Structure 1
C-alpha cells in the first residue's frame, strides 16, 4: 500500500512508530529510501545522525499543518458531486489558510543547516 505513495521519493522518508517493520525497512532500502521513525518503547536505542533527529522533531509541525487544513479549513470533506466542486473547496481552504495570522513553520535557515552539516 505504501509503494504507490513513495514512487517518486528518494533518500529519506519520515514516519510514525506504527510503520516500523523489518520487511518494510528492507524493501524501501532496496529502492534507495531510508525509513526514519522514532523508536518504540521496547526497542533498543540506536544512534541516529543529529540532522535526522531534528527533522524527525519537525514532523510534528507538518502534522499540525495537516490538522489545521483538515479541521479548520475543512479540506477533508469528500462528498463532492463533481471535480469542479472538489477543486473549488480545496482552493478555498488553501486560500483561507494563507490568511491565517500565525502559521507553523520549520525555521530551517541556511545558518542552521551549515551548523548541522559541520557537526559530527
Structure 2
C-alpha cells in the first residue's frame, strides 16, 4: 500500500512539474496544433517517459529489435551546482575539442574546468581571445604547470559525478535509429535528472545527490 502510494505521489509531482514547464516554455502553435485533440496529452506522454526513466524501465530501451544508431556522444557544460546548462551532440569519432569552442562561445562563461580531452594550445588561445579561460590538467608526459584555480581537482569532479548520475539514469543505453532519436532520449534523461536535482536542493541546497529528490517527490 505504501509502495503504490509513493509511486502515485511521484507521478503526480512529475506531471505537475511538466505541465508548468509546458505552459511557459512550449510555443503556442505547438500547444494548439490542429490534431492535439486526437492524441494523449503531451504532458502525460512526457511524464510517463520520465516516470519510466526514474524506475529504470527496460521497455524504454529494448522495446524493439533491429539495427540501432550507435555513433553519438554528448559534450556538456555543467554548473558547479550540478545542472547541465548546455550540451552538444557529435559523432563518436569526432575529437572532444572540436565542438568545445562552439558550446562555450554560445554560453559565454568566463572560466571553464575541463578534462584532458580538451587539451590543445590553439584551442586555449582561441577561447582566450573570446574572454574564456579553459583550465585543464596535463598528461604525465607533458610539461607540468601549476594550476592556480582554487580546489581545481575537487571542483572539476562535479562534471564527472553528473555524468555518472546520467549513466545511472540510462544515458549510456540510449539506443535509437537516428541522431535525432538519440538526442530526444538524452533530453528526457536530462529533464528527469534536473527535476530530481531541483527537488533534492529544496531539501539540501548544496547537495549533488539527485536521488534525494525522489524522497521529496514522494512526500
TM-score normalised by the chain length of structure 1: 0.59
Q: CA RMSD, aligned part only?
A: 3.3
Residues 14, 36 of structure 1: 8 Å contact kept? yes
Q: What SS is found at the alignment partner of 2:164?
A: helix
- Partner residue in 2 for 1:58: 155
Q: Which runs of 5+ in 2 are unaligned?
A: 1-98, 210-219
The reply on whether 1:2 has 2:100 as its aligned counterpart is yes
Give SS of 1:40's match: coil
- In the TM superposition, residue 78 of structure 1 has moved relative to its aligned partner by 6.4
How many residues are treated as equivalent by the alignment? 99
TM-score (norm. length: structure 2): 0.36
Structure 1 residue 89 displacement after superposition: 5.6
Determine which structure has more spread, i.e. the larger CA radius of gyration: 2
Label 1:67 to 1:44 Cα distance change in 2 as closer, same or farther (>3 A).
same
SS of match in other structure, 2:157: helix
- Larger proportion of helix: 2
Counterparts in 2 of 1:72-111, with a 5 A limit? 72-74=168-170, 77=174, 79=176, 90-96=190-196, 98=199, 104=208
Unaligned runs of 5+ residues in structure 1 are 106-120
The answer to whether the 8 A contact 1:13-1:34 is kept is: yes
Hey, what's the Cα distance between the residues in 2 that align with 1:88 and 1:24?
A: 31
